[in-house]
Amino acid sequence: MRAFAYQTPKGEPRVGIQIDGKNYNFTYMWQIFKELKNSPSSPDIYFLQIIIEMENFSKTAFMEVFNTVQEMRGVQDLVIKTPIEYQVPIPRPEKIICLGRNYVAHAEEWNSDVPTKPLFFGKLPSSLLPNNGIIRFSKGIGRVDHELELAVVIGKTAKNVSEEDAMDHVAGYTIVNDVTARGMQLEDIKNGKPWTLSKGFDTFCPIGPFLIPADAVKDPHNLNMELTVNDVVKQKANTKQLVFKIPQVIAYISQFITFQPGDIICTGTPEGTLPIVNGDVVEAKIDGFGVLRNTVQEF
């Protein structure tokens, strides 16, 4: 079971779910479920983030709705028949926190030390880009790289969380491509400047296409990852290679920064980060998460 955000041909926002290869209009399914349960006070659901803020984003909750509606009146008319125009699954995160050098081989390929504590930085929410969106940048900014990452979406407020309790604060997972203006970043590092600009361009955070509930992922620390450019493999790894695991990251950062529902943590990229150029087709894949596909346009 996989959830996604999309819009209708008229541009109306919707929530969808994919079950056994079929895509369903969950927004309408939820409205039917509310009527069947006689709960008109429940909010309408046009965004995945609403479900997360309700602290009700789980495979169990989705399947309760699906199974109830299927049993009571059927679901065949809820199958989405038009091509899916994916939208960003989390449209308004308060924060996007990214891990740097969280794979040993990636640190080594850039002759950098592996950090002894989680090294993190921020990426701007305005950089988010949906599946099939176009990564755009000026030819004059120099080298731009792809960075495949597992993303964690926070499900409830987390402050001073222990490692033991950290996973209880996770709503789900998705794929992120932490696109980076590498030439600009290296120059900023050389001059002691932060990475905000090189990481924060519009379109530099492709995300999606699906948001997978935490209870639908057996082990987020054992997921195969792969990124291709024009069908050629450039990055290949497994999340078991993470230096700092998800509970460590949440516990450490929440000492200083309060996570809110919908916040995104990008857990770091493995080795193989290489340039992308005009016309490239970049596909990022994680076991069971679908394919995040974006094209590149220089202007």
List the chain pLDDT tens, one digit each, 299 residues.
999 999 999 999 999 999 999 999 999 999 999 999 998 888 999 999 999 999 999 999 999 999 999 999 999 999 999 999 999 999 999 999 999 999 999 999 998 999 999 999 999 999 999 999 999 999 999 999 999 999 999 999 999 999 999 999 999 999 999 999 999 999 998 999 999 999 999 999 999 999 999 999 999 999 999 999 999 999 999 999 999 999 999 999 999 999 999 999 999 999 999 999 999 999 999 999 999 999 999 99
Instruction: Find out whether 266 and 125 touch, Cβ atoms under 8 Å.
Output: no
Give the residue among 15, 34, 33, 35 at the shortest CA–CA distance from 25: 15
Q: Which two tokens stand for residue 122?
A: 């921020």
Chain centroid to CA 58? 16
Indicate the pTM of the whole model: 0.97
Instruction: Write the CA distances from 219 to 164, 223, 266, integer angstroms.
Output: 15, 7, 17
Contacts of 112 (CB under 8 A, 6+ apart): 101
Task: List strand residue ranges (DSSP E) for 78-231, in order.
Answer: 85-87, 96-100, 119-123, 128-129, 134-137, 148-154, 170-177, 205-213, 224-229
Measure the CA–CA gap between 73 and 36, rounded to whole angstroms.
10
Distance of CA 292 to the CA centre of its chain: 10
Q: Taking a C-beta distance cutoff of 8 angstroms, is the pair 199, 144 a contact?
A: no
User: Do 273 and 111 touch, CB atoms closer than 8 A?
Assistant: no
- Residue 42 identity (one-letter amino acid): S
